[in-house]
Amino acid sequence: MSGLCTHGPGSITSLVAGSGVTRQAVTKHLQVLARAGLVRAVRHGRETIYEPETEQLQEAGQYLNIISRQWEQALTRLKLLVEDE
């Protein structure tokens, strides 16, 4: 959720505001991110505030960078192979 990363912790209501995404869709995404350990849900009275788990997000980002470099290398090799023929 870019809202959590750019604006910090927020409720579903604040995350949905101006996004053009339904409340239900944001809720489902937050549930998946929470199960993955990338966000944490904290109850404040009747409201649930979602906070990014920055360490886990950084770790995931590093892993995705490694995979991205591997794909780039594979695509470069494929391009060279195709251009040689």
Q: Please measure the distance between the N-terminal and C-terminal CA atoms of the chain and give it in whole angstroms.
A: 44
Q: What is the DSSP letter of 84?
A: H
Separation between Cα atoms, residue 18 and residue 3, nearest integer Å: 11
In the chain, pLDDT over 70 holds for what percent of residues?
Answer: 98
Please say if the pLDDT value at position 67 is more than 60: yes
Same domain, 22 and 60: no
Both structure tokens of 72? 């780039």
Separation between Cα atoms, residue 63 and residue 51, nearest integer Å: 21
Confidence of residue 32 (pLDDT cuts 50, 70, 90): very high
Same domain, 67 and 33: no
Same domain, 11 and 27: yes
Same domain, 64 and 45: no
Listing DSSP states for 10-79 in one string gives: EEHHHHHTTT---HHHHHHHHHHHHHTTSEEEEEETTEEEEEE-HHHHHHHHHHHHHHHHHHHHHHHHHH
The pTM is what? 0.70
Same domain, 4 and 20: yes
> Could you list the residue range(s) of the whole structural domain that residue 44 is in?
1-52
Please say if the pLDDT value at position 19 is more than 90: no
Structural domains counted in the chain: 2
Lowest-confidence segment of 7-11, 32-36, 58-62, 66-70 by average pLDDT: 7-11
Both structure tokens of 84? 């040689």
